[in-house]
Structure 1
Amino acid sequence: MKLVACPRCHAQYDVAGFTDETVTCPCGASFPAKCPAAVDAAVKRCAACGALVGDEERVCSYCQATVIRDPAPAGPVCPECYARNPERALHCTACGIAFLPQPVRRTTEPVECPNCPGVRLGARSLGGLWVDECPMCLGLWAPRDVMDRLVDRVRERRRQEGPPPASVLHRERRSPWQAKITYRKCPVCGAAMQRKNFAGHSGVVVDWCGSHGTWLDAHEMEDIAAFVLEGGLQHGPGDDGNGTWSLPADPVKAAALLAAQQLLADERERSLARYRALGGRGRIDSEKLIQGIGDLFARLLK
């Protein structure tokens, strides 16, 4: 991870693998896509939670994590104070800021709302991360893995502040239930997006393009935040043991997996239709074909 920060709005970006010389932030600032030179600084903060630690402390009194004072192997360089940090540090051990970068946007051209034809989305800063908002329906487009970063920030808030008051935990759902299922098109590539129940059991269904990002209808981000603050990611079918939600991180593997699932479902449906057409007198065995499809996508997912 190679971090840079916007000098105007302080949004963080990971420029690892980014080949352009400059980064253009949605706030309008342009700055070099080059990490600052690292400096050695005294360890004053916990790398896990950012809490203050004493000079002699070996364990953080706040989160009970081991206080790491040796930055080897080297991890991220803080984009604000330039301190060298240990590998996998979540916070700067010198100034305490959280490392929650977002991907660099390849283009700053506005995209159209997938819900309101002809309406352009406008950039908006949400928790230090840039998303695109529709001025008509108030839906949000979170490019690439910005959605994961937003969830990380809500989880960090819950970890620092504890469970929220009952007024937040038992708030009424604000995003409307969809009476009619519609498959919206990705505002970047135009392909139909997948519908995903956030975390598998939240009841908030988002629209997801494996290559470009996630679309949230009005108030769905608030409902997801309330779900996370309530501790919804700590249990349930969407939890993988690390408190992350269930959308695959690798777009290629995710697309292959979804295509495999659809092919298998279609083939089973065709097999059942043929069986019914025969009046139940015979059984059409498509297991070999289904197995072949499964083998194909198993190879793609390796």
Structure 2
Amino acid sequence: MKCSACGAALPATSLICSFCGTRNAVDLRSLSASTDQAPDAPRPCPECGTPMESVNVGNRKRFFIEQCARCHGLFFDLNELQALLDDAVAPTYEVRFTLLSSLQNESPVPRRKVSYVPCPDCGKLMNRVGFGQRSGVVVDRCRDHGVWLEGGELHRLMEWKKAGGQVLDRQSGAVDTPANELLKVLTEESGSTTALRSLGRLLRGIGEA
């Protein structure tokens, strides 16, 4: 894939051009999937409020993804993100730990200042949760309506699945929660899990309360 601004080849695991710094949008039309639910009316981008566009990325069947043309964010209705990952990325049966570590440790896609954004459907603030084991991606999720990904995060999740991230999820049986994600971030910053075990238990207790 080439940069839309300067034409240079993009890095394999990023949509940010290493030559000119432009953040590129995912080429949604190169993907395919199999659900056909489209919104009755344009919904506002959770970040900038711009009405999002519905893009049909289906091959033989319709599959609508909502995209903000201004910030390149994507909104997936319930179960659509998993359906797209299943359809767009070939199945893998092994965990490539070296590649997973590389994806997790590389500089993340630049994000807005950490804040909670509203669901474009109900308007309630969405929860920030980690997506899967070692993906390095924190998504905004409304449990009733869907998931919001910032520009570049879908590409990272596709690379994560190629590296066996979902296989690792199934093997561990773990489900990320806001408390788990915070523990993960603190652990990475401190370099030690032992010192944070008591904090992790406290956070999980708060999450279950």
Corresponding residue of 2:46: 114
**Paired residue for 1:197?**
130
Q: CA deviation at 1:241?
A: 3.9
Structure-2 residue corresponding to 1:152:
86
Larger Rg: 1
- The correspondence for 2:68, drawn from 134, 146, 160, is 134
Q: Deviations over 1:46-97 (max 9, x none)?
A: xxxxxxxxxxxxxxxxxxxxxxxxxxxxxxxxxxxxxxxxxxxxxxxxxxxx
Q: CA deviation at 1:201?
A: 2.5
Correspondence for 2:110: 176
Question: Match of 1:87?
Answer: none
Q: Which amino acid aligns with 1:234?
A: V
Q: 1:141 to 1:181 in 2, by over 3 A?
A: same
Residue from 56, 62, 85 that aligns with 1:125: 56
**Please, what is the CA RMSD of the aligned residues?**
3.9
Aligned-partner residue type, residue 240 of structure 1: R
Q: Secondary structure at the match of 2:41?
A: coil
Ranges in structure 1 where 5+ consecutive residues have no aligned partner: 1-99, 248-260, 267-292, 295-302
- 8 Å CA contact 2:43, 2:121 repeated in 1: yes
Q: 1:149 to 1:245 in 2, by over 3 A?
A: farther
1:233 aligns with 2:174: no
- Corresponding position of 2:23: none
C-alpha spacing 1:194/1:123, structure 2 compared with 1 (3 Å): same
Q: Secondary structure at the match of 1:150?
A: helix
Q: Which amino acid aligns with 1:182?
A: S
Q: Distance in 2 between matches of 1:242 and 1:150?
A: 23
Instruction: Please tell me whether the aligned partners of residues 125 and 131 of structure 1 are also in contact (alpha carbons under 8 angstroms).
Output: yes
Over 6 Å off, 4+ runs: 242-245
Answer yes or no: is the 8 Å Cα contact 2:92–2:167 preserved in 1: no
Aligned residue pairs, count? 146
Deviations 1:181-208 (A, max 9, x none): 2100000000010111110431101101
**Secondary structure in 2 matching 1:226:** helix
The answer (yes or no) to whether the contact 2:57–2:65 under 8 Å persists in 1 is yes
Partners in 1 of 2:45 and 2:146 — Cα distance?
13
Instruction: Kindly provide the amino acid, as one letter, of the partner of residue 85 in structure 2.
Output: V
| Cα offsets for 1:137-158 (capped at 9, x unmatched) | 0100111210110121244x14
* Cα pair distance change 1:111/1:173, threshold 3 Å: same
- Mark the CA change 1:233 to 1:244 in structure 2 (over 3 Å): closer, same or farther: farther
Shift of 1:102: 2.2
Superposed displacement of residue 216, structure 1: 0.4
Question: Partner residue of 1:224?
Answer: 157
Q: Which has the higher contact order (CA 8 A, sep 6+)?
A: 2
Calculate the TM-score normalised by the size of structure 2. 0.57
Distance change >3 Å, CA 151–CA 246, structure 1 → 2: farther
Change (3 A) 1:109 1:242: farther
Q: Please tell me whether the aligned partners of residues 127 and 150 of structure 1 are also in contact (alpha carbons under 8 angstroms).
A: no
Instruction: Give the match's secondary structure for 2:132.
Output: helix
Note the C-alpha offset of 1:231.
1.1
Q: 1:244 to 1:124 in 2, by over 3 A?
A: farther
Provide structure 2 residue ranges, at least 5 long, that are not aligned to the other structure: 1-32, 178-201
Partner of 1:73: none
Return the alpha-carbon distance in structure 2 between the equivalents of residues 241 and 154 of structure 1. 22
How far, CA to CA, are the matches of 1:243 and 1:130 in structure 2? 30
Q: TM-score, normalised by structure 1?
A: 0.41
Query: Within 1, Cα distance between the matches of 2:114 and 2:55?
Result: 28
Q: Which has the higher helix share?
A: 2
